Amino acid sequence: MKNQVLQIFKIGGNVINNDDALNSFLKDFSTIKGPKILIHGGGKKATEVSSAMGLQPQMINGRRVTDEATVEVVTMVYAGLLNKKIVAQLQKNNCNAMGLSGADANCILAHKRIVKDIDYGFAGDIDAVNDIIIDVLLQNNLTPVFCAITHDKNGQLLNTNADTIASEIAVGMSKLYQTELNFVFELKGVLGNIEDKNSVITHINSEKHEQLVTQGIIADGMIPKIHNCFNALNKGVSKVKIGDASLVNSSNKLYTTLSL
């Protein structure tokens, strides 16, 4: 079992916000042979719906503060509209997708983030991934598609960071599979020179990671992202790749691979 490769992809707003980009990605994703899982973030639709509902999006340190009305909106948009649109497109491409939140089949158990300095409201921190039930789905040739909503098994839905969900699922499934985690974002990979979109550093190991942070080449928002990747590698994930939407296309060779 452990020899079977499980491909996990996480896509964010930059792919989701553009129907053509999304459908093109999903078409390529559908052609991946073997077990696979997709995790998607939110995108601008949640902000659009929030505004229409008269809610003022509140952000602290780039993270959304999730009050009760906001958790309703993100549940609608992430678990409803985006998740089902993605599932319907994958079904069109003969990929037998099943859309899930963390509450479904108790796949991802979380708790409301503990308030230290900032109260992020109904934001979830993950406690457990139910690898057994996710494997039942994979064994039945289903492709789980997770949105960024979890629950606390006490009736509360929780808004949860999609990058973290992807990492935790990859770690959880690495008990059963050789898991490869792929983060799709707006750049072709980790750049050596921020001014040059093609200056992709193709391979980063732990040692190089430290160097790049010291040199300030990995900086700002990339620091937690890459930290998250190495955390996954340290906990059993075989390989992590970072790149743009063409990462899913096997003919693309320009991306960053991270390994220990």
Which amino acid makes up residue 30? S
Radius of gyration of the chain (CA): 18
Q: How far is the CB of 218 from its own copies (least distance, A)?
A: 36
Tokens of 130: 């139910």
State the residues that interact with its own copies by CB under 8 A.
49, 52-54, 72, 75-81, 83-85, 87-89, 91-92, 96-101, 103-106, 133, 136, 140, 142, 149, 151, 153-157
Q: How far is the CB of 99 from its own copies (least distance, A)?
A: 5
Nearest to its own copies of 26, 218 (CB atom) = 26
Nearest to its own copies of 13, 189 (CB atom) = 13
* Buried/exposed code over 197-212 (b: 16+ C-beta within 10 A; e: otherwise): eeebbeebeeeebeeb
Nearest to its own copies of 49, 213 (CB atom) = 49
Q: How far is the CB of 129 from its own copies (least distance, A)?
A: 15
Where do we find the tokens 């509209």? 81
Nearest to its own copies of 26, 212 (CB atom) = 26
Per DSSP, the chain holds a count of helices (H) and strands (E) of 9, 14
Question: Cα dist. 10→68, 162, 164, 202 in Å?
Answer: 26, 7, 10, 19
Tokens of 8: 């996990």
Smallest Cα–Cα separation from 193: which of 218, 221, 213? 218
Q: How far is the CB of 13 from its own copies (least distance, A)?
A: 17
Nearest to its own copies of 66, 256 (CB atom) = 66
Q: How far is the CB of 138 from its own copies (least distance, A)?
A: 12
